[in-house]
Amino acid sequence: MRAMSSPFLQAAAVADSVLYEGYLLYPYRRSSPKNRVRWQFGVLAPRQWLPASARDDTGLSGSADGWYQHTECLLEAPEAAQVQVRVRFLRVAHRWVEERTTDGQFAEVDSLTVGEHRYLTFDDALPHEHDVTTTLAALCREPVQTDITLPADECIEELPDRAGRIVRRCEPISARVSIWLDAAAAPFTLWRLTVRTENHDHTTRPAAPRTEALYSSLVSTHTLIGLSTGTFLSSIDPPEWAAAATQTCRNIHTFPVLAGDPARRDVMLSAPIVLYDHPQVSPESPGDLFDATEIDEILSLRTGTLTEEEKREARATDPRAAEIIDRVDNLPAEVMERLHGAVRGLRARPADDPDTVTVDGAVIAKGSRVRLRPRRRGADAHDVFLSGRTALVEAVLTDIDGEQRIAVTVDDDPGADLHQWYGRFYYFDTDEVSPCGHHPNGQGG
């Protein structure tokens, strides 16, 4: 896979995190139960292999096997603007170990030890990208279709001392990318861009086991869309004049968000994992751990506690797992300390500016109690569970744009004291809380 090109360069780290999300999970060993059922996100499987319910599924979730992804997003741009679409996915490869027999032939084995190294039979995956470049003017005339055709491929890696070999085989991949454009209903000129990626394999048996169907599937499929001129509109937080048009957009098994440089709006990332606009990988992260839902610090500490035999098995399971084990084993103490946590974009209010804010006529400050009313937009699943809960205000802060934020711990949270100790809070805008109870100093709160 080539290096990410402009305009996608600044979205590279997040896109790669999506590509390898769930690729292999801690403790990174083949024998671990969680690594026996793999490839859970963005799987575009052969249509005839899927049950009828999956073939007809039009839900947003990208964690269910489907045969296509459908992205719709809004943009403002002149017809001369160039559109670049990049579909990225993993191609599952069957990798097995063969031992050299006494007569010079080869026999498949589950594992083979050569010197200090152990080799295991285990599937891995190879990254692929497919680019389509066109213009809005061309899309106004007719849709653009292009096929992804990857022939079967096999490669052989000889092991040291002529002890055996590793064979990796990929089955053919057949898919189609369709792009079209239409005008969206809005008071200003607004376009709706559609990108649809379909699996067109017809060779997989309907009754085949999932492991077999995956060889003809596109895995961890996601799409980057870039504009040479113009801007995309946020699918999460569109301007009010485009809210109705945004509601008409259909996104199936994927969801588009603004990506790349936060100061620009010329790149969209449509992923099978729901993200927020301009997602970023933490600069403290020393490298991918294949599980973006975990905390790097905790996962690195856990990895460091594996026994030498467990680490040996992990290294034999997959070359990328070996990279993780080696990286954690050699992680400097100062790098681990940086993983302990950071709060970005917030600062304490100046001494001459009281750390209070007025909400619905009541003064809110540290020690006040509020009821949480998160907005029903955005990608944070916590909002669903926190809505209506009461919370203790821990601080009133100001972000880099001068907007006030309220830091809270949730009432009845058994871990609230730990959050207070760590200084890790939930943060809400002033219009996402309502006052309840009283300020500890006697003020209404």
Look at residue 343 in the predicted model and tell me its pLDDT: 58
Local structure of residue 22 (DSSP, 8 states): T
Local structure of residue 66 (DSSP, 8 states): B
Instruction: Tell me which of 156-160, 255-259, 323-327, 437-441 is least confident.
Output: 437-441
CA angle 66, 71, 76 (to 5 degrees): 180
Phi, psi of 247 (to 5 degrees): -65, -25
Tokens, residue 173: 């991949």
Highest mean pLDDT among 45-59, 167-181, 276-290, 297-311: 167-181
What is 368-413 written as a DSSP string?
-EEEE---S-SS-THHHHHTT-EEEEEEEEEETTS-EEEEEEETT-
What is 131-197 written as a DSSP string?
EEEEEHHHHHHS-EEEEEEE--EEEEEEPGGG-EEEEEEE--EEEEEEEEEEE--SSS--EEEEEEE
CA angle 105, 110, 114 (to 5 degrees): 70
Look at residue 403 in the predicted model and tell me its pLDDT: 80
- CATH 2.30.30.140 in the chain: give the residue spans: 346-436
Look at residue 25 in the predicted model and tell me its pLDDT: 86
Phi, psi of 146 (to 5 degrees): -145, 145
Q: Pairing between strand 124-135 and 426-429?
A: unpaired
Angle between helices 319-329 and 296-304 (to 10 degrees): 90
Q: How far apart are CA 364 and CA 392, in angstroms?
A: 10
What mean pLDDT value characterizes the chain?
87
pLDDT tier at 220 (50, 70, 90 boundaries)?
very high
Going by C-alpha positions, the residue among 284, 215, 225 that lies closest to residue 259 is 225
Instruction: Tell me which of 65-69, 90-94, 314-318 is least confident.
Output: 314-318
Written out in words, the top-level CATH class of the domain with range 346-436 is: mainly beta
Q: Which residue has the tokens 């008409």?
A: 248
% pLDDT > 70, the chain: 88
Q: What is the 3-state composition of the chain as percent helix, strand, coil, each rounded to the nearest 5?
A: 20, 35, 45
Other CB atoms within 10 Å distance of the CB of residue 125: 23
Q: Span 16-38, mean pLDDT?
A: 89
Q: How far apart are CA 276 and CA 85, in angstroms?
A: 20
SS3 27: coil
Q: What is the pTM of this model?
A: 0.75
Local structure of residue 304 (DSSP, 8 states): H
Tokens, residue 283: 């600069």
Q: How far apart are CA 61 and CA 243, in angstroms?
A: 22
Q: Which residue has the higher pLDDT, 47 or 381?
A: 47
Q: What is the pLDDT of residues 244-260, one digit of tens each?
A: 999 999 999 999 999 99
Instruction: Tell me which of 297-306, 329-338, 430-439 is least confident.
Output: 329-338
Q: How far apart are CA 35 and CA 20, in angstroms?
A: 14
Q: What is the pLDDT of residues 256-314, one digit of tens each?
A: 999 999 999 999 999 999 899 999 887 777 677 777 766 676 777 778 888 999 999 99
Look at residue 442 in the predicted model and tell me its pLDDT: 40
